[in-house]
Amino acid sequence: MKQKPNPFAFPNGIPIKDRLQKLDEAAPDHLSAKRKIQVKYFNFKDLDDSIPLFCFVGRITSQKGVHLILDTAEQVITKYNHKVQFLVGGPANMSEGYSGQCAHKMWHLKNKYPHCFWAAPDEFFTDGSLVNRGSDFGLMPSAFEPGGIVQHEFFVGKTPVIAFKTGGLKDSVVEFKWETEEGSGFIFEHYNHQELLHAIDRAINTFRHKEKYLKLRENAFRATMEGEVVCKAWLAEFCRLG
């Protein structure tokens, strides 16, 4: 470190305009997207916006912390009298021990709580854009994440994120402050399912206060990192090194 006194790093980003076009193709707004998710994945007849929807999209690997979601989901579902929903979108490698164990627990939760929990670990998930816009909260309990791109895919859909305080996540997912109405989501600092549960409790409390929640959604969109800004930052660093 002493040999490199001027280290450089910059967050990941996404092309916001192009991503918004994909979201518009999936659904024109948040509630339309949420309705599609509830009808397609939870067998609802129509939208029920009183139910907070938490979604994960990604690989079923230990890095992504999927087990924390699975260890927390049933407790949250029973605590809130089945008025909460979890969607876990992503394939599991059944030949890998961690993924296989997660898959079996997903099937168990899906069968036990069909209106509250959905996952299909034997399938590739194709509704990422719909989930980015239709979720009430994105879930990113990654054990480590050098930069992270999924949080920005949620942010561009105005979806706040719940994340472990690590790597690039802690740089972009900022705890929502009730008094100042600042922040883009909720974070937990200790890597266990009880800490994730407390973050989900804070999220649900905010969701129930619509003015606060709508402010949080606006904050989330403003937290999106534009890909062009990232490219220019790295280009400037390469020029400096040259």
Per-residue model confidence (pLDDT) at position 134: 98
In a domain, 136, yes or no: yes
Interhelix angle 66-79/97-112, rounded to 10 degrees, is 20
Instruction: Flag whether 11 is in a domain.
Output: no
36-56 pLDDT tens trace: 999 999 999 999 999 999 999
- The neighbour count for residue 99, using CB atoms within 10 Å, is 19
pLDDT of 63 above 70: yes
Q: Which residues contact 36 (CB under 8 A, 6 or more apart)?
A: 26, 27, 130, 134
Whether 34 is covered by a domain: the verdict is yes
Asked whether residue 162 is domain-assigned, the answer is yes
Rounded Cα gap, residues 157 and 129, in angstroms = 8
Q: Partners of 182 in the beta sheet?
A: 177
Strands (E), the chain: 53-57, 85-89, 117-119, 137-140, 161-164, 185-188
pLDDT at residue 126 tops 90: yes
181 vs 14, higher pLDDT: 181
In a domain, 1, yes or no: no
Q: How many domains does the chain have?
A: 1
**CATH number for the domain including 225?**
3.40.50.2000
Is 103 among the domain residues?
yes
Condensed to tens digits (0 to 9), the pLDDT of residues 66-104 reads 999 999 999 999 999 999 999 999 999 999 999 999 999
Tens of pLDDT, residues 18-37:
999 999 999 999 999 999 99
Query: Does pTM surpass 0.85?
Result: yes
**What residue numbers bound the domain in which 73 lies?**
16-241
Q: Per-residue pLDDT for 1 more than 80? A: no
Which pLDDT score, from 0 to 100, does residue 73 have? Answer: 98
The answer, yes or no, to whether residue 11 has pLDDT greater than 80, is no
- Does residue 105 belong to any structural domain of this protein? yes
Domain assignment of residue 2, yes or no: no
Which residue's structure tokens are 């239709």? 134
CA 92 – CA 98 distance, rounded (Å): 9
Instruction: Give 144-192 pLDDT, tens digit per residue.
Output: 988 888 999 999 999 999 999 988 888 889 999 999 999 999 999 999 9
pLDDT digits (tens, 9 = 90+) for 187-226: 999 999 999 999 999 999 999 999 999 999 999 999 998 8
Euclidean distance between CA atoms 106 and 157, whole angstroms: 26
User: How does residue 4 score in pLDDT terms, banded at 50, 70 and 90?
Assistant: confident
Rounded distance, CA 133 to CA 160, Å? Answer: 10
201 vs 242, residue with greater confidence: 201
pLDDT of residue 207: 98
